[in-house]
Structure 1
Amino acid sequence: MNHSLLDLLRNGDYILYARHGEATVGEDQPNLNLQRCITQRNLSETGRNEAIYFGEVLRTLQIPVSYPIIVSPFCRTIETAELAFGWENIQIDPFWSEIYNLSGDLSAPEQKRILDSLQSELEIKPAPGSNKVIIAHGFPEGIGLGEIPNMGTVIIKPLGQGNGFEVIAKLSLADLSGFVV
């Protein structure tokens, strides 16, 4: 990350779309139940450490974030946000589980519906002087925001409703932490 990007983030007005930390414990079951973590892949110890570090890096770099942090209803995304920002600062939004569904076998109209909704969400500007944080899932290659590594972050500049958005940068957790002195 270069210093001009850090300055932009400190001024706010961006969306930080982050993928959850490493999830290697268990697997997503065919009968996946969002209320039952046992039916899902969950954070590994590495993933938990990544989540804690992600929150610490944003605070250390003095990147302002608006609360609540928006999360997908999967156990791994909720735990990531909770470890990074605290339980009281998160809000579960069922829409973000749709991103997970993009990796499945969807019809073209269903995929378009999800991507159109994604665009609408990413066009909404955050509160002035702060950044909105969304913790959800990666995307299949070439779809939506594309592949995102564990705890990777896509920096998005919303252009206002109906005007689209611009991807400013895609950062790994190591990229993001490169500014911590």
Structure 2
Amino acid sequence: MSDTIQQPTLRTAFGPRGLTMSILMVVAGSALMTLAAKVQVPFFPVPMTMQVLVALLIGAAYGPRLAAVTIGAYLAQGAAGLPVFAGTPEKGIGLAYMAGPTGGYLLGFLLAAITTGWLAERGGDRGPFRLALTGLSGIAAIYVPGLLWLGTLIGWDQPVLVYGLWPFVPAEILKLALFVVIVHLGTGALRRR
């Protein structure tokens, strides 16, 4: 027997889960992503949704595999025409919406949840500094495909960073801070149990 005690994390708090629990977690996570897309928080210079924060939290709590299934289910709902994305149905629905300017960011949610979950499994959810790096990696996983897709659509002669990154930086800093606090407090509470 080993004397090593594994520290609890948000991901391990769920314990061994069966198929029913995993399905419930996927449904709850995709519903939370939808809610996060629909609630706009007034912010400067642009209003913000909380999808980035929720994608990061799902990754940290669920681990990379279940997080991938959860965000994949959310994207599949949107592709099927359900109005789960920000601005739907007003700005379109289904694959046409996903092929628009936000399509790369939508793919980025999947990559962010996987990245965050993978890093959390490897100790990236231990302490504020590691959490900040984990969250920042997840945010980068959203913006890289988002900016690449946006540049492909509008042309690289356009100021892609001006349209697709800089207006969102203040909100992403706030969401990163919230991610660190929520996961740090959550794992701290689990350690005290």
TM-score of the superposition, structure 2-length normalised?
Answer: 0.33
Higher RCO structure, 1 or 2 (CA under 8 Å, sep 6+): 1
**Could you tell me the TM-score, scaled by structure 1's length?**
0.35
Structure with the greater alpha carbon radius of gyration: 2
Higher helix share: 2
